[in-house]
Amino acid sequence: MADIRNNFVGIKSPNPFWLASAPPTDKAYNVIRAFKAGWGGVVWKTLGEEGPPVVNVNGPRYGAIWGTDRRLLGLNNIELITDRDLQTNLREMKQVKMDWPDRALIASIMVPCEEASWKAILPLVEETGADGIELNFGCPHGMSERGMGAAVGQVPEYIEMVVRWCKQYTRMPVITKLTPNITDIRKPARAAHAGGTDAVSLINTINSITGVDLDSFAPMPTIDGKGSHGGYCGPAVKPIAMNMVAEIARDPETRGLPISGIGGITTWRDAAEFLALGAGNVQVCTAAMTYGFKIVQEMIAGLENWMDEKGHRTLDDVIGRATPNVTDWQYLNLNYVAKAHIDQDACIKCGRCHIACEDTSHQAITNMVNGVRHFEVIEAECVGCNLCVNVCPVDNCITMEPLAAGAMDERTGKPVSPVYANWTTHPNNPMAKVAAE
């Protein structure tokens, strides 16, 4: 039986599934329900400094986009950090940690970018017995207008400075949460690393407008006729998040820096993918907000089953296994040739592969053969682009089949070369390196 116990920068939890700092972790009531459901840990909703708490809007806080059957694909929010009194949160955290010692409890913190503010709050948090802290440098709305959240996360120098303060004033492990609203995610990660962070977590939410009310002409969610960009999350952001995790995992400057992966994780498979790309554990929010806490049971069982099936005994057997396979485009093997193949028994003849290829790609799929609707790849035209696979509604009906070395590529009229060759040495590349002489 696979062992999915997690040790993330010394913080232990029975599984790698944490709830991210967000509405589901706003108070003891929710967190206890989450622990009862089986979540391995929580990052408590972000604490602000002592004093009058922040206020939230009193209208819609969330916007969304949906897929077929109104499945929620992306969620955005304009909610701020906790709007509850600091002392109440600290008291509840302490009690919960005492009652659930085997679960991870992390405090997310966001205070003004001043040393005194951080110095003041850290001992208070430490006193709760929390396992670690997460620095919220990601929140893209509201707080960023006040110089906090993403406003810090977008300036690597600030990140490094605040991380240094935290490492100086607390013995708790420090996880730095990064904003994706930046051009190159490696820069803030490097800064956090330079400041001495124990780990980074990413991604926080993405600046977004989910819709426009076409009657009032206001962005959604709409507050009294106006809207503001919110933070986007959910399944739709997963590919963006995974790329950013991989970028940090394979960056020579940050290689080995523990990463807590966040962004659209909904199933065990999503989690496994994040782990494979280098995340040491994962944080979940939108999936819980969509379906409730019970989903963690599917995640736990699914991850265990997959690991058992593949013979992975611990999470360490999985973490980072895909990282070495993430490379730059210039190193991809240009002599690799694949062709689409349509399984005629599985094909339901919707014709979407044909029209996608015909209208928008390479005219490489038939629609009529001898007067009968029939969808078949024309190998002499197929460039192996995979679009047909992606638009086909039937799983595994269209597959990409690699041509063996030596086999004839009917498109080029040349046999497939057995030799790995990439753009750096390609004759069409004016910058090509001359092959070793």
Partner 1 sequence: MPEGQFKEGIVGGRLAADQYADNFSDLHPPLDHHEALVESDRCYFCYDAPCMNACPTSIDIPLFIRQISTGNPIGSAKTIFDQNILGGMCARVCPTETLCEEVCVREVAEGKPVQIGRLQRYATDVAMADNKQFYPRAAPTGKTVAVVGAGPAGLAAAHRLARHGHDVTILEARPKAGGLNEYGIAAYKSVDNFAQAEVDYVTAIGGIDIQNGKALGRDYQLSDLMRNYDAVFLGMGLGGVNALRADGEDAEGVTNAVEFIAELRQASDLSGLPVGRRVVVIGGGMTAIDAAVQSKLLGAEEVTICYRRGQEHMNASEFEQDLAAANGVTIRHWLQPKRVIAEGGKVSAIELEYTALNGDKLAGTGETLTLTADQVFKAIGQSFVPAALNGSGASIELDAGRIKVDGEGRTSLAKVWAGGDCIFGGDDLTVSAVAQGRDAAESIHRSLTQG
**Looking at the annotation, which residues are catalytic?**
139
Question: Is the backbone peptide bond immediately before 221 cis, with ω within 30 degrees of 0?
Answer: yes
| Both tokens assigned to 429 | 């590349």
- Find out whether 130 and 46 touch, Cβ atoms under 8 Å: no
Which lies closer to partner 1 via its Cβ, residue 73 or residue 350?
Answer: 350
Q: Does the footprint of partner 1 cover residue 354 (CB under 8 A)?
A: yes
- Please state, as a whole number, how many other Cβ atoms lie within 10 Å of the Cβ of residue 131: 21
Between 196 and 351, name the residue whose CB sits nearer to partner 1: 351
Among candidate residues 286, 293, 321, 324, the one with its CA nearest the CA of residue 307? 321
> Segment contacting partner 1 (CB under 8 A): 45-53, 215-223, 226-234, 346-354?
346-354
Burial of 34 (0-12, 13-18, 19+ CB in 10 A): buried
- Does residue 345 interact with partner 1 by CB under 8 A? no
- The beta-carbon contacts of 415-424 under 8 Å, at least 24 apart in sequence, are 416/335, 416/337, 417/335, 418/335, 419/335, 420/333, 420/335, 421/333, 421/334, 421/335, 422/330, 422/331, 422/332, 422/333, 422/334, 423/329, 423/330, 423/331, 423/332, 423/334, 424/330, 424/331
- Does 367 contact partner 1 by CB under 8 A? yes
CA 109 to the chain's CA centroid = 21
Q: Who's near 68: CB < 8 A, 6+ residues apart?
A: none
Indicate the helix (H) or strand (E) that contains 105.
strand 104-109
CB of 104 to partner 1, least distance (A): 39
| Contact pick of 36, 146, 294, 373 for partner 1 (by CB under 8 A) | 373
Of the ranges 19-27, 114-122, 323-331, 352-360, which one interacts with partner 1 (CB under 8 A)?
Answer: 352-360
Q: Which of 301, 355, 380, 432 binds partner 1 (CB under 8 A)?
A: 355
Contact set for partner 1, span 16-75 (CB under 8 A)? 68-70
Q: Scanning residues 260 to 299, which ones bind partner 1 (CB under 8 A)? A: none
Nearest to 15 by CA among 107, 105, 130, 104: 104
Q: Pick from 36, 146, 255, 349: which binds partner 1 (CB under 8 A)?
A: 349
Cβ 363 to partner 1 shortest distance, Å:
14
Within 10 Å of residue 145's Cβ, how many Cβ atoms?
11
Residue 69: CB minimum distance to partner 1, A? 5
CA distance 177 to 134: 6
394 touches partner 1 (CB under 8 A) = yes
Output the smallest distance, CB 402 to partner 1, in A. Answer: 28
Residue 348 beta carbon to partner 1: minimum distance, rounded to whole angstroms:
4
Residue 98 and residue 381: Cα distance in Å, rounded? 65
- In the complex, minimum distance from the CB of residue 420 to partner 1, in angstroms, rounded to a whole number: 38
* DSSP 8-class letter at 393: S
Stretch that binds partner 1, among 108-116, 117-125, 176-184, 347-355 (CB under 8 A): 347-355
Place of tokens 């009652």: 99
Quick note: the x/- pattern for partner 1 over 68-107, rule CB under 8 A, is: xxx-------------------------------------
* 3-class DSSP state of 293: coil
- Residue 232 dihedral angles phi and psi, to the nearest 5°: -95, 140
Reading phi first (left if > 0) and then psi (alpha if -120 to 50, else beta), residue 381 is in alpha
* Size, binding site for partner 1 by CB under 8 A: 15
Query: How near is the Cβ of 351 to partner 1 at its closest, in Å?
Result: 3
Q: Which is nearer to partner 1, 141 or 354 (CB)?
A: 354
Which CB sits closer to partner 1, 69 or 437?
A: 69
Of the candidates 98, 116, 348, 380, which one interacts with partner 1 according to CB under 8 A? 348
CA-CA distance, 356 to 363, in Å (whole number)? 9
Work out how close the CB of 356 gets to partner 1 at its nearest, in angstroms, rounded to a whole number. 9
Of 98-106, 195-203, 365-373, 429-437, which segment contacts partner 1 by CB under 8 A?
365-373
- Least distance in angstroms from the C-beta of 295 to partner 1: 22
Binding partner 1 by CB under 8 A: which of 112, 129, 302, 351? 351
Q: Is the dihedral of CA 239, 245, 250, 253 positive or negative?
A: positive
Q: Judged by CB under 8 A, which stretch of 109-117, 205-213, 328-336, 351-359 contacts partner 1?
A: 351-359
Query: Applying CB under 8 A, does 428 fall inside the site for partner 1?
Result: no
- Please select the residue that binds partner 1; options are 393, 413, 418, 427, rule is CB under 8 A: 393
Specify the residue, 67 or 123, whose C-beta has the smaller distance to partner 1: 67
Binding site for partner 1 (CB under 8 A): 68-70, 348-352, 354-355, 367-368, 373, 393-394
